[in-house]
């Protein structure tokens, strides 16, 4: 997964990054709430880890802004020293998915991250044979896509891009996010690869003729695949 961390304690941030990167996740770290919000408006992530007491904007303020203005569905986990019942309830009611108090432990932290990953469908390609998004079907065992029962000829990267976009329906996914998760390359790479593949995908899936699906470009950000009926 692509994970963003809001944490002003350098040692804590370094520890989380070490655990997550050991499990093959990609991580970005921000030290204050304003920097986090500015970055998120230009990018997208699969999971957010928030400390509460950080400069500029607190973690709870960041969460409320994220849910109201930027990303209403990305999973958010608090990792903080604040451990009162009132704090936990406030965070969960504001849209947090989980809440952990410091000091966090390696195995528990990774178990919670892995539980979110499973819920989001990461790593299920070997356990789920089919996804159905009528009139499309995606067979993860055979690694192909059909439209009204007819197989669509596509490269492996086009298949992986199709699967990733359908698994993130309704979300704006940045070009950097796609480069990391589909191509395994740096999100900072200046390339037209994503735009070229999205254009080919739109044609191969015949999305301009589809009644139920729409793939749109979001200016200076990325792409959104959504159900419009």
Question: Which range among 32-36, 71-75, 217-221 shows the weakest confidence by mean pLDDT?
Answer: 217-221
Cis peptide before 103 (omega within 30 of 0): yes
Give yes or no for residue 131 having a pLDDT over 80.
Answer: yes
**Which helix H or strand E contains 138, and what residues bound it?**
strand 136-139
For 64-90, give one letter per residue: b (16+ CB within 10 A) or e: eebbeeebeebbbbbbbebeeeebbeb
Give Cα 20 distance to the centre of its chain. Answer: 15
Give yes or no for residue 127 having a pLDDT over 60.
Answer: no
CB count within 10 Å of CB 158 equals 19
Report pLDDT digits (tens) over 67-85: 998 888 899 999 999 999 9
- Set out the domains of the chain in order of their start, with CATH numbers: 2-120 (3.40.50.2300), 130-227 (1.10.10.10)
What is the per-residue pLDDT for 229?
75
What is the band of 123 on the pLDDT scale with cuts at 50, 70, 90? low
């Amino acid at each position: 997964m692509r994970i963003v961390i809001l944490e002003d304690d350098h040692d804590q941030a370094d520890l989380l990054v070490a655990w997550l990167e050991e499990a093959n996740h990609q991580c970005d770290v921000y030290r204050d709430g304003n920097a986090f919000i500015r970055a998120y408006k230009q990018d997208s992530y699969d999971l957010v880890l928030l400390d509460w007491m950080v400069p500029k904007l607190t973690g709870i303020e960041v969460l409320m802004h994220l849910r109201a203005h930027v990303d209403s569905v990305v999973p958010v986990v608090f990792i903080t020293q604040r451990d009162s019942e009132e704090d936990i309830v406030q965070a969960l009611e504001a849209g947090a998915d989980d809440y952990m108090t410091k000091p966090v432990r390696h195995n528990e932290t990774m178990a919670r991250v892995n539980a979110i990953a499973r819920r989001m469908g990461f790593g299920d390609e070997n356990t789920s044979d089919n996804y159905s998004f009528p009139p499309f079907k995606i067979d993860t065992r055979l690694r192909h896509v059909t439209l009204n029962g007819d197989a669509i000829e596509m490269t492996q990267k086009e298949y992986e891009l199709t699967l990733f976009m359908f698994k993130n329906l309704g979300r704006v996914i940045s070009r950097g996010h796609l480069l990391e998760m589909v191509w395994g390359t740096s999100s900072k790479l200046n390339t037209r690869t994503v735009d070229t593949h999205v254009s080919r995908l739109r044609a191969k899936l015949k999305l301009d003729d589809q009644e139920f699906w729409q793939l749109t470009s979001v200016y200076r950000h990325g792409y959104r695949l959504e159900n419009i009926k």
